[in-house]
Chain A
């Protein structure tokens, strides 16, 4: 049973518009969530995180929203840039021990110039 799901394998948006990447989870014990970004032939890099005590965290063009009742989080990128084209992974963990992070399958974002 997949505990972290990214139901959209791919997303294509126009440069300058908003990109919204979604993630759903089933384990109600998850209380810490992270987004990672991955370019081809590279390892993932940390993008932004959110604790369950918050419902929003913002870092520049990136904002993560958490809806605990719906067990849903989303990553908003505004405005989208061609350099944002990458695979985005959602990850969730119980407590702050990231060793137990569970990753979604990723969403490939393509930002068209």
Chain B
């Protein structure tokens, strides 16, 4: 199993450009999440999904959109990038339902995004 993978690993954008980050998981997990981590700070939840076709806002959703058309994929979009969106983005997934371990999140390796 590859676990959780993220594409791309690095990206540099100019202000106003758009891009989509792709997250894929092969563990048949129900829940998926997008976080951002800024220097010296913890993980802040951007959006999450509790199942195929569903999405919900997290703590810092402004400036981002997401889609979960397939259970295994969770896309994060930036329509008009801003320097404040320079960060490391982590995708995660969890079983979401069931017993012990359902809440444990499995993270991807991260995408380092710089917006100039």
A residues neighboring B (CB under 8 Å): 4, 6, 9, 32, 34, 36, 41-46, 49, 89, 91, 93, 96-106
With contacts A98-B103, A99-B33 known, what are 6 further pairs, Cβ within 8 A? Answer: A43-B4, A43-B90, A43-B107, A89-B42, A91-B43, A103-B44
Work out how many contacts link A and B, with CB atoms closer than 8 A.
71
Residues on the A chain within 8 Å of B103, using CB: 32, 34, 49, 93, 96-98, 101
Instruction: Provide the bound-state CA to CA distance between A102 and B33, in Å.
Output: 13
B105 interface residue, CB < 8 Å from A? yes
Residues on the A chain within 8 Å of B107, using CB: 36, 43-45
B residues neighboring A (CB under 8 Å): 4, 31, 33, 35, 40-45, 48, 50, 56, 58-59, 90, 92, 94, 96, 102-110
CB pairs A–B below 8 angstroms (29 shown):
A4-B42, A6-B42, A9-B40, A34-B103, A34-B104, A41-B110, A42-B109, A43-B109, A43-B110, A44-B90, A44-B107, A45-B107, A46-B104, A46-B106, A96-B102, A97-B31, A97-B50, A98-B31, A98-B96, A98-B104, A99-B31, A99-B45, A99-B58, A99-B94, A101-B45, A102-B59, A103-B44, A106-B41, A106-B42
Instruction: Provide the bound-state CA to CA distance between A111 and B110, in Å.
Output: 25
Instruction: Provide the bound-state CA to CA distance between A78 and B102, in Å.
Output: 27
Residues on the A chain within 8 Å of B106, using CB: 45-46
Instruction: Provide the bound-state CA to CA distance between A41 and B9, in Å.
Output: 10
Which of B41, B42, B96 has the most chain A CB within a 10 Å cutoff?
Answer: B42
A105: nearest residue on chain B (CB-CB)? B42
Residues on the A chain within 8 Å of B35, using CB: 103
Which of B58, B107, B108 has the most chain A CB within a 10 Å cutoff?
Answer: B107
* CB pair A104 B94 closer than 8 Å: no
Residues on the B chain within 8 Å of A102, using CB: 59
* CB pair B50 A99 closer than 8 Å: yes
* CB pair B109 A103 closer than 8 Å: no
Instruction: Provide the bound-state CA to CA distance between A32 and B103, in Å.
Output: 9
Residues on the B chain within 8 Å of A106, using CB: 41-42
